[in-house]
């Protein structure tokens, strides 16, 4: 059993650069943060952001002139934002967007930390296999906490606090509206990305780059969600109410392409996915189709109507309490469970139709009776009218006769 646990941890034991690829220094003249050894750019802000869990994360904000969309990028490779810096600049230029990137620690490192020897228990992952899983409750965050120049320790809930801090900065410091933000999650970054997405009802869109169904599912094709699992994206993706683009390499040796395909199938609002033939886990940006398809997606969602509502809520107010990874959760109900057969509505429908016909016949009969009465009245009026005319004619003849007699007398 110990060998299984060791192999699980070894498979994902990718740690951030040590030492970090950059240093945060303060410019004496301006008091601004700079990233050494990168040259200062007028359109790039280097930031240190406090999180609600008491840590600080390093982040960069790249401006693009006249951009209306902002991408909040959560990366997941064994890298820090120093190594992602050039990519952030290029994406901002080619996609014509503002971009905020911050350091989230690696999925692979988190999984190895999550499976540390602290407490052992046996769990049936498959019918024929029982593995010993050890659960460790730790803390870390965005560069993600514990990466680059970010403080703290890596943990699932720290990454949630980290992305919330980045989002809050966009909203409060840069005036970015929720409906103008696209969340981009790569690898483990898909975890905090989807966790935030389900709490932002006006979000413009989501991009999932080599995403995971959940931490445990990367290692075992389990059919249900266990309490000790992390980044349970499979349970959250159906709750996302904006367009979702999924990008995955067909030759991914770290997170199988089936993860991306299943997440795409579970989306409420699917966008044409991009399955890059021969693409691995960390090289998808090198494919020409990657940038073309991503640009097409962003252009498409920018033209679509904004998801505005009467009231906007910040992440502080919409934050929902999450269950600790130290307590058990009930297994997810299978989506294969069939609905109970519904009672036939044919008979009531026939009865309603019969009643409809009966009522109509009754109304028709009343209408006919009313019509007959009106006809009789009309005929009676015509008869009296003819009688009146006859009397008038007789009086007229008598008057003419009198006039004739008067003319004879005069003559």
pLDDT tens by residue, 260-288: 999 999 999 999 999 999 999 989 999 99
Judge whether residue 10 has pLDDT over 60: no
* pLDDT level of residue 33 (50, 70, 90 thresholds): confident
- Express as a percent the part of the chain with pLDDT over 70: 58
Q: Are 35 and 22 in contact (CB under 8 A)?
A: yes
Q: If residue 63 lies in a helix (H) or strand (E), which one and from where to where?
A: none
Closest CA to 63 of 175, 208, 162, 149: 175
For residue 171, whether the previous peptide bond is cis, meaning omega lies within 30 degrees of 0, is no
Q: Mean pLDDT over residues 244-259, rounded? A: 96
What's the pTM value of the predicted model, to 2 decimals?
0.66
Judge whether residue 351 has pLDDT over 50: no
Judge whether residue 132 has pLDDT over 60: no
* pLDDT level of residue 29 (50, 70, 90 thresholds): confident
Cα angle, residue 327 at apex, residues 326 and 333 outer, rounded to 5°: 130
The residue to which tokens 């999550």 are assigned: 114
Q: Are 74 and 184 in contact (CB under 8 A)?
A: yes
| Ranges 127-141, 147-161, 352-366: which has the least confidence | 127-141
pLDDT, residue 369, reads 65
pLDDT, residue 25, reads 85
pLDDT tens-place string over residues 154-187: 678 889 999 999 999 999 999 999 999 999 999 9
d(CA 84, CA 77): 9
* pLDDT level of residue 315 (50, 70, 90 thresholds): very low
Residue with the bigger pLDDT between 369 and 73: it is 73
d(CA 148, CA 75): 13
Pull the structure tokens for residue 257. Answer: 């392409």
Residue with the bigger pLDDT between 238 and 17: it is 238
* pLDDT level of residue 75 (50, 70, 90 thresholds): confident
Judge whether residue 117 has pLDDT over 60: no
Helix (H, G, I), strand (E, B) or coil at 256: coil
Task: Exactly one of 187, 190, 210, 214 is catalytic; name it.
Answer: 187
Measured N-to-C along each axis, helices 190-197 and 156-173 cross at an angle, to the nearest 10 degrees, of 60
Active-site residue, 27 included: no
Helix (H, G, I), strand (E, B) or coil at 329: coil
Residue with the bigger pLDDT between 102 and 70: it is 70
Average pLDDT, the chain: 75
Distance in angstroms between the alpha carbons of the first and the last residue of the chain: 150
Task: Exactly one of 157, 209, 281, 293 is catalytic; name it.
Answer: 281
Q: Are 65 and 95 in contact (CB under 8 A)?
A: no
Residue with the bigger pLDDT between 52 and 10: it is 52
pLDDT, residue 174, reads 96
Judge whether residue 352 has pLDDT over 70: no
Active-site residue, 86 included: no
pLDDT, residue 262, reads 97
The residue to which tokens 């951009």 are assigned: 67
Q: Are 95 and 71 in contact (CB under 8 A)?
A: yes
The b-or-e profile of 75-87 (16+ CB within 10 A means b, else e) is: bbbbbbbbbbbeb
Q: Which of 140-144, 317-321, 360-364 has the highest mean pLDDT?
A: 360-364
Closest CA to 91 of 66, 73, 65: 73
Judge whether residue 365 has pLDDT over 70: no
Active-site residue, 259 included: no
389 by Cβ neighbours in 10 Å (0-12 / 13-18 / 19+) ranks as: exposed
Residue 275, φ and ψ in degrees, nearest 5: -100, 105
Closest CA to 240 of 264, 275, 216, 214: 264
Q: Are 76 and 107 in contact (CB under 8 A)?
A: yes
pLDDT, residue 305, reads 75
Residue 382, sorted as left (phi over 0), alpha (psi -120 to 50) or beta, turns out to be alpha
Q: Mean pLDDT over residues 120-133, rounded? A: 44
The residue to which tokens 């009309």 are assigned: 378
d(CA 261, CA 245): 11
Task: Exactly one of 195, 229, 252, 256 is catalytic; name it.
Answer: 252
């Amino acid at each position: 059993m110990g060998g299984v646990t060791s192999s699980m941890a070894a498979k994902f034991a990718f740690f951030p650069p040590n030492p970090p690829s950059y240093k945060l220094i303060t410019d004496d003249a301006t008091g601004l943060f700079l990233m050494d050894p990168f040259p200062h750019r007028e359109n790039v802000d280097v930031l240190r952001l406090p999180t609600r869990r008491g840590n600080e994360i390093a982040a960069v904000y790249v401006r693009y002139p006249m951009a209306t969309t902002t991408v909040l990028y959560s990366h997941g490779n064994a890298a820090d934002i120093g190594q992602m810096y050039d990519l952030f600049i290029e994406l901002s230029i080619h996609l014509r967007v503002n971009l905020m990137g911050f350091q989230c620690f690696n999925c692979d490192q988190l999984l190895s930390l999550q499976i540390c020897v602290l407490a052992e228990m046996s769990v049936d992952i498959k019918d024929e296999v029982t593995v010993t899983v050890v659960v460790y409750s730790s803390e870390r965050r965005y560069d993600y906490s514990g990466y680059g120049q970010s403080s703290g320790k890596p943990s699932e809930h720290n990454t949630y606090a980290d992305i919330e801090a980045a989002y809050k900065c966009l909203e409060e410091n840069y005036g970015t509206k929720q409906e103008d933000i696209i969340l981009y999650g790569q690898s483990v970054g898909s975890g905090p990305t989807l966790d935030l997405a389900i709490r932002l009802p006006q979000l413009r869109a989501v991009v999932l780059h080599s995403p995971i169904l959940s931490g445990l599912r990367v290692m075992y094709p389990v059919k249900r969600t266990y309490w000790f699992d992390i980044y349970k994206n499979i349970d959250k993706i159906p709750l996302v109410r904006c367009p979702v683009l999924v990008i995955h390499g067909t030759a991914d040796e770290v997170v199988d392409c089936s993860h991306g395909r299943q997440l795409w199938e579970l989306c409420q609002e699917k966008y044409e996915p991009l399955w890059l033939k021969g693409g691995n886990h960390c090289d998808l940006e090198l494919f020409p189709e990657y940038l073309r398809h991503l640009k097409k997606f962003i252009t498409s969602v920018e033209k679509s109507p904004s998801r505005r509502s009467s009231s906007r809520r910040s992440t502080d107010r919409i934050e929902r309490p999450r269950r600790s990874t130290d307590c058990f959760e009930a297994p997810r109900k299978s989506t294969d469970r069939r609905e109970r057969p519904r009672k036939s509505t044919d008979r009531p429908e026939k009865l309603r139709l019969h009643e409809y016909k009966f009522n109509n016949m009754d109304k028709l009969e009343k209408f006919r009776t009313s019509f007959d009465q009106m006809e009789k009245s009309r005929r009676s009026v015509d008869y009296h009218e003819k009688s009146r005319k006859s009397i008038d004619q007789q009086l007229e003849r008598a008057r003419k006769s009198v006039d004739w007699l008067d003319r004879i007398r005069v003559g």
